[in-house]
């Protein structure tokens, strides 16, 4: 049973976009590794940009700096 955890910043991904991610990852595992879609689990975690750090700074700060 494949388990895929997708982490994205919480910036307005729609339910439709998340559904496409779930469908696409499920199909990729089926097509590439022969995994059964019925037993494939996909979880999407949305993380506030204040709680996601890159290079010692939060994404919030980096975005304000244009990075």
* Alpha carbon distance 56, 46 (integer Å): 20
Please confirm, yes or no, whether 37 is among the known catalytic residues.
no
Catalytic residue (choose from 1, 2, 48, 49): 2
Distance of CA 20 to the CA centre of its chain: 11
Q: Which residue has the tokens 């204040």?
A: 50
Q: Which two tokens stand for residue 29?
A: 């595992």
Catalytic residue numbers read: 2
């Amino acid at each position: 049973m494949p388990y895929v955890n997708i982490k994205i910043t919480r910036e307005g991904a729609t339910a439709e976009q998340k559904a496409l991610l779930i469908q696409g990852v499920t199909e990729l595992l089926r097509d590439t590794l022969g995994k059964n879609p019925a037993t494939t689990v996909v979880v999407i975690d949305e993380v506030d940009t204040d709680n996601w750090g890159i290079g010692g700074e939060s994404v919030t700060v980096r975005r304000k700096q244009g990075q």
